Amino acid sequence: MNVIISASELASELAGPNPPTLLDVRWQLSTAKAGGAAPFDGRAAYASGHVPGAVFVDLDADLAGPAGPAGRHPLPDLAHFGEAMRAAGVSARRPVVVYDGGQGWAAARAWWMLRWTGHPAVRVLDGGLAAWSGPVTTETEELVAGDFEPAPGALPLLDADGAAALARTGLLLDARAAERYRGDVEPIDPVGGHIPGAVSAPTTENVTENGRFRPAAELADRFKTLGVNDAAEVGVYCGSGVSAAHEVLALAVAGIPAALYVGSWSEWSAAGSRPVAAGPDPQ
Catalytic residues: 238
Strand order through the sheet with 54-56? 4-5, 122-125, 96-99, 21-24, 54-56
Burial 182-210 (b: 16+ CB within 10 A, else e): bbeebebbeebbbbbbbbbbbbbbbbeee
Q: How far is CA 103 from the centre of its chain?
A: 10
d(CA 35, CA 187): 12
3-state SS assignment for residue 37: coil
The DSSP symbol for 176 reads S
Q: Which runs of consecutive H residues, i.e. helices, occur in the chain?
A: 7-14, 42-48, 59-62, 78-87, 105-116, 160-169, 178-182, 216-226, 243-253, 264-268
Radius of gyration of the chain (CA): 18
Pairing type for strands 171-174 and 157-158 reads: unpaired
